[in-house]
Amino acid sequence: MRALLTIVTILMSISACFSQHTPLYSQYLFNPQSINPSFAGFNDALDVSLIHRRQWLNFEGAPVTTDVNMHTSLFNKKMNLGAEIQSDQIGVTKTNFISLVYAYRIMVAKEMHLAFGINAVAKQMKNEWTKIKSTTSNDPVYGNGDQITYTAGAGAGISFSTKKLTLGLSVPSVYQSLKTVTSSYKEFLVFGKYEQSFTDKFSITPSVLIKTYKNSPAEADINCLFTYNKKYSLGGGYRTNDAVIFLARISLNKQLDFGYAYDMTLNPLNTFSFNSHEIALRYVFAYTVNAKRTRN
C-alpha cells in the first residue's frame, strides 16, 4: 500500500509540473482574462471575480487554488487595464503571484474587434520542506528549512471577437527570469467560443480551451452551456484524459453572477481521490438607471 501511495504521489508531482503549469480552472468562461491578457476590459466595465478550486477533494497534498481577478476599460474602450492575484498550493509547494495587465482593443468593423494584451508577473514560490517527514535522520534535502524563490515573468495574447464568436491565442510565459524544469515546456493556450440564441429565452454557448506544450501532448477542455432567460445556465464538459465536468451558473441580477463546477475524475487517481469542486463569484460595476425629471 505504501508503495502504491508513493506512485500516486509521483503522478501528482508530474501533474503539478506539467498539466498544471498554468493553474487549472473548469470555469474559464467566468473570466477569460485569466487565460489571455487581451480579454481585459472585454465587457467595457469594472469587472471583479473570485474563483476558488479544490482539486481531488480529501486527497492529501492535492491542488488548492484561489484567484482574484479584476479588469476595466479606459479611454473610449480602446485601452484596458487589469490585475490578478493568485495563491496555488500543491503538496508542500505554495505559489503566490500578482499580475498586471494591459490590453489595447481596436474595432476592425461593426461589432468586430481585435485586441492585443500583455502582462507582467511577480511570483513567490515556497517549498515547505519542514512539513515532510523523512525516513532518513538529518536528511540534507529536507532538513535545511523552507526554500523561497522569487521570479518575474511576462505573457502575451491576441484575440478576435464578434457579437457571437470569440477566438484567442496566448502564451502565459513569454519570459521567465529564472529557468526551471517546466520553463523549457513553453505553453500555448488556444481559446474559442460561440454564442447562439434559438429564441428570446434560450441560448447555447459551446467553448474550447486547448493547452499545448513543447515536447508534450496537447490537452483540451471542451464545454457547453445552455442558458435560459439570460439568468440560469447548466452544462457540461470533458477534459481530455482527466475528467467529466458539470457546470452551473446563475445571474442573480445584471451585475452579480455565481458559478459552480464539479469535476468527476477519470485518470488513475480516481481510485484514491474524490472529485474536484470549484466556485466562482463575479460582480460587474455597471448599470443603467432610468429616471424621470422631477423639476424644470
CB count within 10 Å of CB 294 equals 5
For the question of whether the overall pTM of this predicted structure is more than 0.95, the answer is no
- For residue range 67-95, list pLDDT tens digits in order: 999 999 987 789 999 999 999 988 888 89
Helices and strands in the chain: count of H runs, count of E runs? 2, 15
Q: How many domains does the chain have?
A: 1
Confirm whether 277 is domain-assigned.
yes
Confirm whether 296 is domain-assigned.
no
Confirm whether 171 is domain-assigned.
yes
**Alpha-carbon gap, residue 3 to 62, rounded angstroms:** 18
Confirm whether 290 is domain-assigned.
no
Nearest of 214, 234, 216 to residue 224 by alpha carbon: 234
Residues of the domain holding 260? 2-285
CA distances from 65 to 156, 278, 283 (A): 22, 9, 20
Half-sphere exposure (CA, 13 Å, Cβ side) for 135?
0
Confirm whether 291 is domain-assigned.
no
Confirm whether 147 is domain-assigned.
yes
Confirm whether 292 is domain-assigned.
no
- Report the CATH number that the domain containing residue 228 is assigned in CATH: 2.40.160.40
- For residue range 150-172, list pLDDT tens digits in order: 999 999 999 999 999 999 999 98
pLDDT at 288: 47
Confirm whether 264 is domain-assigned.
yes
**Which has the minimum average pLDDT: 1-10, 49-58, 116-125?**
1-10
**Alpha-carbon gap, residue 224 to 233, rounded angstroms:** 10
Q: With beta carbons less than 8 A apart as the criterion, state whether 161 and 188 touch.
A: no
**Alpha-carbon gap, residue 238 to 243, rounded angstroms:** 6
